[in-house]
Amino acid sequence: MSLVEIDGSVLEGGGQILRTALALSAITGRPVRIYNIRAKRSNPGLQQQHLTGVIAAAKISNAQVTGAVKGSTELVFKPGRIGCGEFRFDIGTAGAVTLVIQTILPILVFAPCRSTVMITGGTDVPWSPPIDYVRFVMLPMLGLFGVKAEVKLVRRGHYPRGGGEVVMTVEPSKLRPVEVVEFGDLREVRGISHAVRLPAHVAHRQANSAREYLVKAGVKVPIDIAVETYEQGKDPHLGPGSGIVLWAVSSKGLVKGADALGERGKPAEVVGEEAASKLLESLRSGMALDEHMGDMVIPYMALAGNSVVGISRITLHALTNIYIVEKILGVKFEVSGKEGKPGLIRVFHA
């Protein structure tokens, strides 16, 4: 098959281009050359988390790879036959395990048998989906497409120490097209507020703050935010760290999420309010998917067949994913709406 050339600096110009290109290359068997990798970032090229994604994709798809070294801005990936079974990948830093999941989950959907993958690194770190978003928002929404996967959280990992551990199980799945435009009526809000290697009141204050913010804004459905804390001296995490993930469930069974991370000097109340504010903004759009899910579903839409989704905010991430998917799969997307605003995304197969 002819080599697909991909400029890693287009549009958003970040690691998303690499992750999507690797996944689609492995699934289609089409080799790719990605250059200018993360060229727009202050630390361009492959960082440890990206490198782990490359290694994981290569191992699962029995690929030949050149340029898979830290700092590399060019990579050639020639996939072989997709394998399955048990895998283990250690990022070695607080790099996001969820972004490695983003890379390999689509590939394992097309594997010939069930796979179990253990990944070690950061589970709740900046610039990436928290693990609770993946467990309670991303996977249920990908389930609409027929994806059968589960992620178990063994231990949390925060920046800068990492040390988090998750286990993902994926069953081979036949994808199906979806049409989800409107969210429907709000039925409940759920969430998890956690604090590790920190006083327990941090997690409680995050949860209380989020709940109060939603109630003051007029949310009248049940709000159930679980609090995850540990006794002093019995905390298994490296930590310290805290965060909260909220998700809203609709009358149609759709799920939207929002999150916020704690950081030094940031009051727990601000963390809770930040997540609640993001969730409310997404709900007010009336669209089926939140903005993060809006970019994550793009490859699945294209692989499943003619689909249409409504997203609360069209992002540069989504437009970037569309560009890469069109380039590799030869499908055509149509975006109704402006960047930064709610809109519809459709995909058509020739």
pLDDT in tens, the chain (350 residues): 689 999 999 888 788 999 999 999 999 999 999 999 988 888 888 888 899 999 999 999 999 999 998 989 999 999 999 999 999 999 998 899 999 999 999 999 999 999 999 999 999 999 899 999 999 999 999 999 999 999 999 999 999 999 999 999 999 999 999 999 999 999 999 999 999 999 999 999 999 999 999 999 999 999 999 999 987 667 788 889 999 999 999 999 999 999 999 999 999 999 999 999 999 999 999 999 999 999 999 999 999 999 999 999 999 999 999 999 999 999 999 999 899 999 999 999 86
CATH 3.65.10.20 is right for the domain spanning 4-175: yes
Structure tokens at 181: 């435009």
Q: Concatenated DSSP letters for 238-256? A: S--EEEEEEEEEETTS-EE
User: Which positions make up the binding site?
Assistant: 102
CATH 3.30.360.20 is right for the domain spanning 186-284: yes
Backbone angles phi, psi at 54, to 5 degrees: -65, -50
Among all residues, which ones are annotated catalytic? 317
Closest among 346, 171, 345, 187 to 254, alpha carbons compared: 187
How far, in Å, CA of 281 to CA of 283, rounded? 5
Closest among 333, 339, 300, 349 to 316, alpha carbons compared: 339
User: Which positions make up the binding site for ATP?
Assistant: 102
Structure tokens at 5: 């050339």
pTM of the model: 0.95
Q: How many CB atoms lie within 10 A of CB 322?
A: 25
